[in-house]
Amino acid sequence: DTAVSQTPKYLVTQMGNDKSIKCEQNLGHDTMYWYKQDSKKFLKIMFSYNNKELIINETVPNRFSPKSPDKAHLNLHINSLELGDSAVYFCASSQSGSPDTQYFGPGTRLTVL
């Protein structure tokens, strides 16, 4: 009964490929997020969706495209992968009235070769 789940846990791919990471939450939250954590452990928000609508879009290359088919899912598609995209990507969710209390998934470690 994992609260926030992500697949895959590990993703190794070549430069130039397109890949997707999936996220699902069963907490009934209406806000979901994608974060990127680099090798120095800095956590940077990429996107935030509330009830399937994009509400935060930080300065992220447009090769990254989030998609929210419903409020329990927020997927991240990445086109034309680059070496600098290698990182751990975390999905998180929260209730819309409590954005500072977030529940994180286990992360997806993306390695671009």
Partner 1 sequence: LAKTTQPISMDSYEGQEVNITCSHNNIATNDYITWYQQFPSQGPRFIIQGYKTKVTNEVASLFIPADRKSSTLSLPRVSLSDTAVYYCLVGDDTDKLIFGTGTRLQVFP
Residue 12 or 43 with smaller CB distance to partner 1:
43
Lookup: tokens for 111: 């390695």
- What does the angle CA 54 – CA 59 – CA 64 come to, to the nearest 5 degrees? 65
Nearest approach, Cβ of residue 97 and partner 1 (Å): 12
Is residue 94 packed enough to be buried (19+ CB in 10 Å), middle (13-18) or exposed (0-12)? Answer: buried
Nearest approach, Cβ of residue 45 and partner 1 (Å): 7
Residue 15 or 55 with smaller CB distance to partner 1:
55
Note the Cα 14 to chain centre separation in Å: 20
Nearest approach, Cβ of residue 89 and partner 1 (Å): 10
Residue 15 or 27 with smaller CB distance to partner 1:
27
